[in-house]
Amino acid sequence: MLYVIIVITVVFAFGSLAMDYGRVQLAKTQLRVAADAAARAAAPALGNVQNVQDLASQYASMNSCDGSTITIDKNNDVEFLDWDTNTHTYTALTGAQRNYADAVRVTCKRLGASGIPLMCTRVFGMTSFDVKASSTVAMIPPGYGLVGINYITLKGNSSASYWSTSGAVGGNSGNIASNGNITSTGNATIKGTIWVPASSSVSGVTANARRTLTSLLSYPNGSSSPYSPAVNDNALSPAGTINSNNFTVNNNQTYPIPAGHYVVNNFNCAGTLNLQGAVTYYVYGTLNISGNVNTKNSVPSNLSIVMIPNPSTGAAPGAVSISSSATLCAYLYAPQSDITMSGTGAIYGQVIGKSVTMTGSSDIYYDLSLQGGNNVIQVVR
């Protein structure tokens, strides 16, 4: 009988211990899920401390741990970080520097009197167990909002990021990059990272960070394949807009542009274009936009402008000039062209050029939805 009592006691103790262990592990899993959800939801709002804290708290509270709603301390459990993608390390930011964070870490926990209740260990005076879980999510763009392969010259412009899918503006992924120097005569503000070779100089520019390119930027020439001057959708363009393969819209002229792929020599828009769908212009001459180009739904992916070599001679395309006072939502790919932006209208999308000179007051907003969408948000730790 004594042995039976001892065995039953031991079995009960192990059973209780197993239940306690399982309960604690389940609680940890629930906290991890909540931390991941909170950090993922908060990351797109980086650049606005209050919004990040509110979103993290909101999404954490949508989860429960051991039957109780999870609550976090917005001031202590939400941390703002400067994440280094090369070394996978971070620097914690405080005060006003939190506005320049590119990563957020959210911690969910049950500590002290709120710890996970235990059964078996009560005989040893241990009534609860502390558990916590953290998740770090970084905004890692797959590209750059502004690229000037040879150099970038700014006046006093700024670069930030946004999501065209939601319209959320002001993120900290407005990265810019160049193989040459990046200069500004008006203290440009880059809400992102500047990427240049170690030998390049950066002056007059305020940014979240400067990083060194591991290899020089290299972009292939623009290509219109399978379209060409003979195979395209030019016939869809309104009458009078394309003559001798040159696209021209004069001041005070307004035209609707059907969805399609257009291949033209010189592109000159001083009037207004209303795009009715996804439009791509392949240009092998010069490009000049001084009027309004209204992209379908204001989504940059609905307008691509690709500068291509001359189909007959192979000569590099001409220069690009954007002097409009209106917002332009577009993906501009011109690795062989010098780009000058002298307008006052903001550019939403992405700009890649041989060189970029911004003399106007326009700003660049890199559309993170162009390359990778939600894959840009990465759980890094």
Total number of residues shown for the chain:
381
Listed residue (134, 132, 127) closest to 113, CA to CA: 127
Report the C-alpha dihedral over residues 253, 257, 262, 266, rounded to 10 degrees: 10
pLDDT reported for residue 43 = 86
Q: pLDDT under 50 in the chain at which residues?
A: 11-12, 14-15, 372-375
Instruction: Find residue 162's DSSP bridge partners.
Output: 169, 367
pLDDT at position 375, please?
44
Neighbour count for residue 366 (Cβ, 10 Å): 29
Q: Give CA–CA dist 155/258, Å, rounded.
A: 36
Residue 66 backbone dihedrals phi, psi, to 5 degrees: 55, 40
What's the confidence (pLDDT) of residue 201?
Answer: 93
Q: How many CB atoms lie within 10 A of CB 54?
A: 16
Cα–Cα distance between 347 and 341 in angstroms, integer?
10
The predicted structure's pLDDT at residue 367: 87
Residue whose tokens read 């005060």 = 95
- What per-residue confidence (pLDDT) applies to 87? 81
Q: Which two tokens stand for residue 24?
A: 């604690």
| Nearest CA-CA partner of 121 in 21, 4, 11, 8 | 21
The reported pLDDT for the residue numbered 373 is: 43
Residue 202's pLDDT is what?
Answer: 93
Of 216, 211, 223, which is closest to residue 308 (Cα–Cα)? 223
